Structure 1
Amino acid sequence: MLQPQLSNAEPNHNGNNHPPHDDPEGSGSVDIQEELNRLEEIILSGLRIPLTGRTLVDDEKLLEQLDFIRVSLPSVFQEAASILDQKEEILLEAEEYGQQVVEAAQAKRSQILAESDVINQAEREAEQLRRQVQKECDAMMQETLAEIEQKRRACMQELEEMRQTAIAQAQEIENGADQYADSVLEGIEQDLKDMLRIITNGRQELRAEMPPQRNSSPAKKR
C-alpha cells in the first residue's frame, strides 16, 4: 500500500535512491525490465512500520518511475513492432534464401543425374567394349589353337614320313650290305674253286709223271 512521503523516513538496508530519469522519447530504446526492477527497488527501499506489515514509500519517486515507464511503453511497443517487422523481413529473406538453396539443390541434383546418366552410358559402353574384346580374344585363341593343332599334326606326319624314309633307307643299306657280302663271298668261292681246280690239275700232272710203284717192297734187314 502506498503511503505519503515522510521527510524523516529512513531507507531499509537495500534501498537505493536513483536519480530522476530524462525524457525517454529522444534517448532511444528503454529496457522495461530494468525500469521495473527500479520500481521494485523503490518499493523495497521504503521504511517498514513495525508491527503493521506496512511500508512507507517515497510517492514522488514511485510516481516518477511509473510515469517514466508509462511514457517509455510506446517506444518499447514501437521497438517491438520494429523487431516484428525485422522478423518478418528476416523470415522473408530466410524463405528467399531457402528457395535459392532448394533451387540450387535441384540444379545440383539435375547435374548429378545428368552426370550419372553419362557415367552409366560410359559404363555400358565400356562393358560392351569389354565383351567385344573378350569375344575377339576368344576367337583369336580358338584360331591360334586350331593353327597349333594343325601344325602339330603336320609335324607328326612329317616326322612319320621321315621315320619311314629312314627305315626304308636303313633297309636298303642293309639289303645292299647283304648283297655286297654275298658278291664278295661269291668271288671268294669262285677263287677257291679256281685254286682247287689248279691244285687238282697239278696233282694229276704230278701223278702222270711219277714212275710206277712196285708191288712188294724189299724185306727189311734184321
Structure 2
Amino acid sequence: MEFYDYIERLQNLISEGSRIPFSNKVIIDQEKILTLLDEMVKALPEDIKKAKKIVEERQRILVEAQKEGEMIIKEAKEHIEKMVDQNEIVKIAREKSEEILAASKKAAREIRVGANKYADEVLAQLEKYLEKILTSVREGREELNQRI
C-alpha cells in the first residue's frame, strides 16, 4: 500500500470522527488510529529500501564508469608503449591517447554528474514524501494529544 493511502485513511478517520459541539475537536477511535499508525511505520522501511536501491544503483554506475575510464587509459598507455620507437608514430600516438584520455574523463565526468543528479532528484522526492508523512503523523499526534 502506498504511503499516501495510509495518509488518506488517517484523514478519513479524523473527518469521520464525532464532533464535539461548540469546538473544532473530534472524537475518534484510538485503537483504529494506533493500528493505522503501526501499519504506516511498517510500510515506511519499504520506501527507504527503494531509496537505498536507487543510491546503490547510482554507486554501481559510478564504479562502472570509473573502471571503463581506467580501462581506456590503460589501453591508450599500452598502445603508446608499442609505438615508442617510431618518432612520427609516437607523436601521433601521444596525441591520440590524450584525445582518448580527455574523452574518457569527460564521459566519466558526465556519467557521474548524471548519476548524481538522478540520485539527488530521487532523494529529494523521497525527502518531500517523508516530510508530508511526518507532518501528517505530527498533526495526528497533536490531534490525539488535544483530546487527552
TM-score by length of 2: 0.39
Larger helix fraction of residues: 2
Q: Computing the radius of gyration over CA atoms, which structure comes out larger, 1 or 2?
A: 1
